[in-house]
Structure 1
Amino acid sequence: MTELVVSRPEGLYCPAGDFYIDPHKRVTRAVVTHAHGDHVKNGCARYWTATPGYRLLKERLGAGMQVRPYDYGQVFELGDARVSLHSAGHILGSAQVRIEVGGEVWVVSGDYKRDADPSCAPFDVQRCNVFVTEATFASPQYVWPPDGSASAQIAEWWMANRAAGHASVLFTYALGKTQRVLAELMRHVGVDETVYLHQTMTKLVGLYRREGIAMLPTRGVNECGGGYDFRGSLILVPPQAFGTPWLRRLAPYRTGFASGWMGADNGRAAKYDRGFTLSDHADWPSLLRTIEQTGARRVLAMHGDSRVLIDTLRARGLQADAIDTPH
C-alpha cells in the first residue's frame, strides 16, 4: 500500500502532493488544520487553510505570509494529490485534511470534537481507507458531560459568586475555548451581560465576531480604569496568568478552569476553586464512534498517549498504530 502520509522531522508529509500538514519546521508547502500555535509554523513559503479560519491564521502569522483559503469541501490539487478540507469541529475554521490519490483516500483529522459548539461548524465525517486520528484524551476515563451542561454550571457558579460579592475569574484558552464559553453562555444568562476579557483575548474574540459568531458582549479589563469594581462580573483569563500580580485588581474573586483535563482525577483541578469539564477535543466514546463512522480499516493515532486506543482498535479487528508528530 502506498503511504499517502508519512512522518518526517518537519511533520506529517504527503509525498504525492509534496506538502506538509501542520509542520513543525519551515517548509515550502504547509496545509494548516487550524490556528492554534502548536499547529502553525511561521516562515513557511505558502499556506493552505479553511476559509472560516483564514483571518485567525493571518493574525497568527502576521503580515506578508501567503495564505490560500478554501471553503469546506472545495477540492484543490497539490502535485498528484486531490485535497479538500472538512470541518473538524475543534475551533472556528478547524479542518480535517482529505487526501485522495489513485482512488485511495486518507483523512488526517487534526484536532477534533463531536460535541455541539455554537462557535464553530460541526465535525463532518469523511469516509476513508485510512484515518489519522488525534488521541489527546484517548482513555476510557475521559467521558464528557452532556452538551451544554458545563456552560450551565459556569453560569450558576458565576451567579452564586455574584450573590456572595465576588468576581468570577474563569481560566480559558484564548483561542477556541474563550469564544465557545461566550457563545454557550448566551443560553444561560441575559444576552446583555458583559463579560470582561484579558487583553490577549480581545482581538481573537473580535475576529470571531467578524465571522458572524454570536457571543455575549465583552470588554477588555485593560479598558477599565484603576480601582474598577469587578465584583459580580465574569472575567475570562488565559491559564498562564494564574498566580500573577495582574489578578490583584480583580479581587475579591473565585477561580475556575474550563478544560477537558478537569474530567479526570489527575490533581489539576486542585489549585482552582472550581473545575468545569469542557473540552475542544473528542472524548473516548467520540473517538471510537468517529473511527467507526469513517469506515477506515487502518487507523494511525497522533497527539497524546495512544496505546489504549491502539489496543482497543486492534481487538476490534482494525489495523492500528501510532504515527509520530512533533506536537
Structure 2
Amino acid sequence: MLTFTDKGIYCLQGDFYIDPWKPVKRAVITHAHSDHARWGSQFYLAHEYSAPILRLRLGQDIQLQTIPYNKPLYSNGVKVSFHPAGHIIGSSQIRVEYQGEVWVVSGDYKLEDDGISNAFEPVRCHTFITESTFGLPIYHWDKQEIVFDQMNRWWQKNKENGKQSVLIAYSLGKAQRLIQHLDTSIGKVFGHGAVYQIQQTFVEAGFPIKSIEKWGENFTKPEAKGALIIAPQSAINTPWLRRFEPYSLGMCSGWVAIRGTIRRRNADVGFVLSDHADWKGLLSAIQATEASKVFVTHGFTATFARYLNEIGVQAAEVQTEFGKEEEEQISTNTEKLEEGNLQK
C-alpha cells in the first residue's frame, strides 16, 4: 500500500506522501523536525500541535490542514489518522488503512512520557515503518527523573563554585523537555536565540509550558551568575558561548552514552537523555504493534533489521533521508559500534 520512492513514502491510492524529502503536491507530516517536514510542497497535513512550528520553519503562508489525534480523514477511500508518537510536541504516527490493510509510519518516537508531548500509543497494524536511531543493544536509557536529578545537582554545584551552567540540547524537543523539568529554584534559565524562538512560539500558541528569557547582548555577567543557559550544538566554540566564562559545559544527548563523545565535543559532562527510543523501547514498540512486517528507515538500519529477522519478525532496511536533522548527532564509527553487540 505504501511504497518507497525518490521523493519519500508514497500512497498511490490516496495520492499523498508521508514526510517527503522533495516537494510534492500533498505531504502528510509526522512532526516538525526539518528532516521530516521540508519546504516546497503544495499542501500539508499535520497534527494541530505541530502547526506553530511548521509555520515558523516553512512559512506562515503554507497551505496547512491540521487534525487532532485519532480523528480519521479519507482520501480516495484511504483512511488516514494521527496517533501520538511521544517524540516532541505534536509528533505523530501516521496510520494508513485501505481495504482492510493497515500500515503505520512512526516517524520518530520514544516510549517514556516526557510530560509535554502526548505519550506514545502503540497502534496495531500489518506493516510498521520504524526508525532505529539508537538501534543497538548498547543504548539503554535511565528513567528521566534520574537524569534530571543529575542535571540539577551539576547545576547546583556549578553555582556554588561560581560557574554558569551551559547545557547543549536540540532547540526543538529536547530544550522544551529540559525547561519543563529542571529545578528553577536553583537559579534562572536563559535560552540561546534559537532555543528561545522555539519555546516562545509554543508559549504564544497557548501550550502549557514554561517560558524563559532570551540571553541578550545587553545582559551582564552578574545577571547570569548561577544561571543555566540552554543552547544548540552550533554554539560550541563560539564567542557567544565564551561570554559566560567561567562556565561548565554539559551535553544532553543519547549519543553521550558512547565513551569519547563528551571529549570530542570538549564538554565537561554528558547527560544521557534522548527523544528517541532506546534498544528495548524500539523492540517493545514493534512488539506492541503486532506487525507481521517491519521496515527500518534510519539509524542502525542493517543491524536492527537483521536482529528482527533473527527473532522471527520479517524486516527489511530502507534508505531514506530521515535522521539528518539531529544537531545532537555525533559522528561515530558505525562498524565498530555494531560489531559484537547483538548478543548483549
What stretches of structure 1 of length at least 5 have no aligned partner? Answer: none
Counterpart of 1:70 (choices 67, 78, 81) is: 67
Structure 2 residue matching 1:99: 3-state secondary structure = strand
Shift of 1:60: 1.2
Match of 1:316 in 2: 311
Match of 1:174 in 2: 171
Shift of 1:38: 1.3
1:236 aligns with 2:230: yes
- Residues in 2 aligned to 1:134 and 1:163: alpha-carbon distance in whole angstroms: 42
| Aligned residue runs from structure 1 range 93-132, under 5 A | 93-132=90-129
- Residues in 2 aligned to 1:32 and 1:309: alpha-carbon distance in whole angstroms: 24
| Aligned residue runs from structure 1 range 49-60, under 5 A | 49-60=46-57
- Residues in 1 aligned to 2:206 and 2:275: alpha-carbon distance in whole angstroms: 19
Shift of 1:36: 0.7
What stretches of structure 2 of length at least 5 have no aligned partner? Answer: 323-344
TM-score, L = length of structure 1? 0.94
Match of 1:197 in 2: 191
Q: Letter of the aligned partner of 1:94 in structure 2?
A: S
Q: Is the Cα–Cα contact under 8 Å of residues 117 and 184 in structure 1 kept in the other structure? A: no
Shift of 1:64: 1.2
- Residues in 2 aligned to 1:189 and 1:148: alpha-carbon distance in whole angstroms: 15
List per-residue Cα deviations over 1:208-251 (Å, max 9, x = no partner).
32343333x51111164355542211000110110011112111
Match of 1:269 in 2: 262
Counterpart of 2:209 (choices 210, 214, 221) is: 214
Q: Is the Cα–Cα contact under 8 Å of residues 229 and 250 in structure 1 kept in the other structure? A: no
Counterpart of 1:285 (choices 280, 286, 291) is: 280
1:223 and 1:75, CA in 2 relative to 1: closer, same or farther beyond 3 A? farther
Q: Letter of the aligned partner of 1:314 in structure 2?
A: N
Shift of 1:148: 1.5
Shift of 1:16: 1.6
Structure 2 residue matching 1:301: 3-state secondary structure = strand
Identity in percent: 39
TM-score, L = length of structure 2? 0.89
Counterpart of 1:151 (choices 124, 148, 163) is: 148
Q: Is the Cα–Cα contact under 8 Å of residues 9 and 19 in structure 2 kept in the other structure? A: yes
Match of 2:336 in 1: none
- Residues in 2 aligned to 1:231 and 1:124: alpha-carbon distance in whole angstroms: 42
Q: Is the Cα–Cα contact under 8 Å of residues 179 and 208 in structure 1 kept in the other structure? A: no
Shift of 1:207: 2.6
Q: Is the Cα–Cα contact under 8 Å of residues 12 and 21 in structure 1 kept in the other structure? A: yes
Match of 2:320 in 1: 325
- Residues in 2 aligned to 1:213 and 1:172: alpha-carbon distance in whole angstroms: 21
Question: 4+ residue runs of structure 1 moved beyond 6 angstroms?
Answer: none
Shift of 1:308: 2.2
Shift of 1:324: 2.1
Shift of 1:121: 0.7
Structure 2 residue matching 1:24: 3-state secondary structure = coil
Q: Is the Cα–Cα contact under 8 Å of residues 9 and 326 in structure 1 kept in the other structure? A: no
Q: Is the Cα–Cα contact under 8 Å of residues 188 and 226 in structure 2 kept in the other structure? A: no
Shift of 1:189: 4.4
Comparing 149-158 with 201-210, greater Cα deviation is found at 201-210
Structure 1 residue matching 2:194: 3-state secondary structure = coil
- Count of residues paired in the alignment: 319
Shift of 1:193: 4.2
- Residues in 1 aligned to 2:318 and 2:206: alpha-carbon distance in whole angstroms: 34
Shift of 1:203: 2.2
Q: Is the Cα–Cα contact under 8 Å of residues 301 and 321 in structure 1 kept in the other structure? A: yes
Match of 1:39 in 2: 36
Match of 2:130 in 1: 133
Shift of 1:164: 0.2
Q: Is the Cα–Cα contact under 8 Å of residues 29 and 45 in structure 1 kept in the other structure? A: yes
Q: Is the Cα–Cα contact under 8 Å of residues 231 and 253 in structure 1 kept in the other structure? A: no
Q: Is the Cα–Cα contact under 8 Å of residues 24 and 42 in structure 2 kept in the other structure? A: yes
Structure 2 residue matching 1:37: 3-state secondary structure = coil
Match of 1:48 in 2: 45
